[in-house]
Structures are given as C-alpha cells and as structure tokens.
A and B are shown apart, each in its own frame.
Chain A
C-alpha cells in the first residue's frame, strides 16, 4: 500500500512540478500573470474609486518623457487614451459611454489609434487594452498616472498649453474609474466637458507648438 502511494506521490509531483517548471520556462505565463494581474489593479475589484480631479498638469507622473505615439498624434489635435484590462467590470461599464461620446465602436480586446471628428475638431482616440498591447503602450499608463493610483479603468486627455517658461508643451489630465460619478449621463457630460476644454486649449496654443 505504501509503495502504491509513493508511486502516486512521485507521479503527481512530476506532473505538477514539471508542469509548473515548463510553464515558467517555455510559456509567457509568468509575464501574463504579472502584466494582467499583479502590475496594475482593477479598481472595481479594489472596491474603491479614486477621488478624481480633472486638473491639467505638465509634469508626467513618473518623470519620463511623453511617449512618441502621443507626441506624433498631438500634431493633429488632443489625444485621448483609454486604458483597460480584459477582466474589469468598470472598464466594461465605461466603454459604451466612450463609444457614445466619440461615436465609434470597438471590442474590448482591440488596441488601436484613430483620429476622429469631435464637434468639428480632430481628436485622436487611443484604446489601450493592457492585456493585448505592446510594452510601450502598456508602460504609458505609468507616465500619465498622475494620482499614483496604478489602476484601470484610466482615461487620459493630452493637449498643449504654455508653461511658465513660455514654451508650449504637452498638458494632460487623467481620470479614473467611473470618475466618482454614478449616473451615465453625468459621466458622459463630465468627459465631454474635459474634452472640450482640451480642444479649446489646443486651438488657443497650436500656433506656438513645436514638436
């Protein structure tokens, strides 16, 4: 009997430990768990909403430069970035509202950049699903995480403005989760208002902007 159990024990150990070792060595499971679960929190799972401030600032959250893909698009108009993960209840709830505001449709897995017309002005919408995007796109969340929340859903609007030295620079604001609001119409109004502010800033300062 003891021998039989020993055979079962050794077999199971080989299966599980071998399986674990193989997954670490030959698959991207470790990276997937890190990127999808550990590195950034889903705010609905945290059961908390950050108290959102719509204040625009110049300094990036981690002190790094604005990513190239933002600067490139900033020559056309303000850039709106929507960050999410595959499994995130509030991301799912916010996306239909974004589709309404920008009058577009997309799937949650999509990673894309599209320049759209917003009340007669160009604005670039960039959808970043961190579970499917490149490292550069993924890491840009930390550039714009101005309140150091490290969670999704996160929305950033980048525009331009004169800084204290009189130079026109990228100027951004970041909002999180459901923006501290419960009503869908209020959320849409709040987002639309901040987008309009960013367009006004952009149009006022584009003459002095050199990328």
Chain B
C-alpha cells in the first residue's frame, strides 16, 4: 500500500477516534492535537482549553496546566510534530484543501513570490506569539480566551451543533467575531498550503520545539543529496528539505521521503 494512503487511513482513524463521544465515550484525556471539546461528538478535551482554564484570571490551577503539557510532551518527544501530519483532524482538512493553494501558486506567480520572501520565515513565529499571547497572557490579564473566537471551535463545535439541532440555537455575542476569524482561517488554508499549521496553530507551537529532540524524525543524507529540490517542491510546509536538520516545521508527512529520486531522505527512530 502506498505510504500516503497509509497516512490517510491513519488520519481518518484518528478523526473517528476523536469523535467517539457520539457513541457515548467521553474521557478526561486531552487531545494531543487541535480539536474542540464543544464538538457534540468529542471524546476528550482540547489541550488549549485546558491550559486556558488553568491560567484564567491568574487563578492558577496547576493540574489543568501541567496535564495537557505532559500529554503533548510525551507525544512530542516520541514523534515530534508527526501529530500534525498524521493525527490532527485540522491537518487532515488542510491536506484535503492543499491542492487549491498549489494550483493558485502555479497560476499566479505573485503568490509564489510572496511565499519566497525572506519575511515568510519570520511569520512562522506568529504561532508562538498566538500561544503565548492569546492562550496564556490574555486569559490571565483580561480574561479573554482564544477559544472564544477559535476557528477550530467554530468548525468542529459550533457548526456541527447548529447542523445537528436545526432551529434550536441562535448566535450569541461571540459568534460574529468567531465567524470573521473562521472566514480568515478558510481564506488562509485555501491560499497557503497548511497555512494554519505554519503560522497560527498554538498546538503546533507547543509541538514544534520537540522536533529538535524527538525519537522519530526525518534525516537527509546531505553527502548523497543531488539538490534537485523535488523534496522541497512537494513539502506542504515549504521547508528547504535538503538543508533541514530536525526542522521545527516538519510534520513528518513523509512526502519528501517517498518522492526523493535518490532515496537519501529517510525516517529515523532515534
């Protein structure tokens, strides 16, 4: 079976397991990826929500802060950001929309040009800012929580609730702001491949540093590499693969591994 098909099956399995709440399975675990506990079928808690509840208005609840961090840390040390490429339902969504930005890039050279600007590299730090500012700082200081306007919550919590209960709900004061953020999220993922993972995902920000030390990682044999850049072209995270060394942006999707004409890119377990 082709590697990418295996990955798709894995992603779909994880999507199903994230929604076993529909069959009554509700647990006290946190997802190691981004998914909303307000989803009518959610099995577990969103790690971002747990951290926010833990820090809200500086009434620190250490267990609620440490618990998701331990889960993310355990998964991160084992597999790095493979969670984004293999498990996250929002990653699966962006895999599905990935062809659109690629098409747009080929049709409109300006998009390709924007993507190759030097500033793009620095924009990737935005997700760390989102994590520190909107997940940690604003809940502590002003009580504003990222989850109040979270586009993932809108997609996996609000919309399914509306669809499953027609006529039973109406929008509240947070709806309009969240809808605007959601529209921007949609525009982003249709304009830039994996745009959410690259620039904004706070769970990605928590997992990314673990790529530097994770057991599972991708390695390039730089001596045998012919720098054809086929790997970089297929990389959904637009990484300079031939020169990468445990890149925090790598989601271990394996596209570079399977397309390398010289087979010099491989998964390593230690």
Q: Which positions in A face B, CB cutoff 8 Å?
A: 2, 5-6, 8-9, 12-13, 15-17, 19-20, 23, 27-39, 41-51, 86-87, 89-90, 147, 177-178, 180, 182
Contacts and interface: CB of A to CB of B under 8 A. Distances in A.
Contacts of A16: 70, 73-74, 76-77
Contacts, number: 146
B64 A33 contact: yes
A147 B169 CA distance: 11
Contacts of B152: none
Given A16-B77, A19-B73, A86-B56, A38 B28 contact: yes
Contacts of B270: 2, 6, 9
Given A43-B172, A45-B38, A20 B28 contact: no
Contacts of B178: 47
B229 interface: no
Contact of A8 (B64, B172, B213): B213
B224 interface: no
A37 B148 contact: no
Residue of B46, B154, B174 with highest tally of chain A CB at under 10 A: B174
Given A5-B213, A23-B70, A34 B27 contact: yes
Classify the secondary structure of A's interface with B: helix
B113 to A, nearest CB: 37
B147 interface: yes
Interface residues of B, number: 53
B29 A49 contact: no
Interface in B37-74: 37-38, 42, 44-46, 49-50, 52-53, 56, 59, 61, 63-64, 66-67, 70-71, 73-74
A33 B158 contact: no
B171 to A, nearest CB: 6
B209 to A, nearest CB: 11
B132 to A, nearest CB: 19
Given A38-B45, A47-B158, A47-B174, A29 B71 contact: no
A13 B78 contact: yes
Interface of B: 26-30, 37-38, 42, 44-46, 49-50, 52-53, 56, 59, 61, 63-64, 66-67, 70-71, 73-74, 76-78, 143, 145, 147-148, 153-154, 157-158, 161-162, 167-175, 178, 213-215, 270
A32 B74 contact: no
29 contacts: A9-B77, A13-B77, A17-B74, A19-B66, A19-B70, A19-B73, A20-B67, A23-B66, A23-B70, A33-B64, A33-B67, A36-B64, A38-B28, A38-B44, A39-B26, A41-B37, A41-B38, A45-B153, A45-B174, A46-B38, A46-B158, A47-B178, A48-B158, A49-B171, A50-B168, A51-B168, A51-B170, A90-B172, A177-B172
A42 B174 CA distance: 12
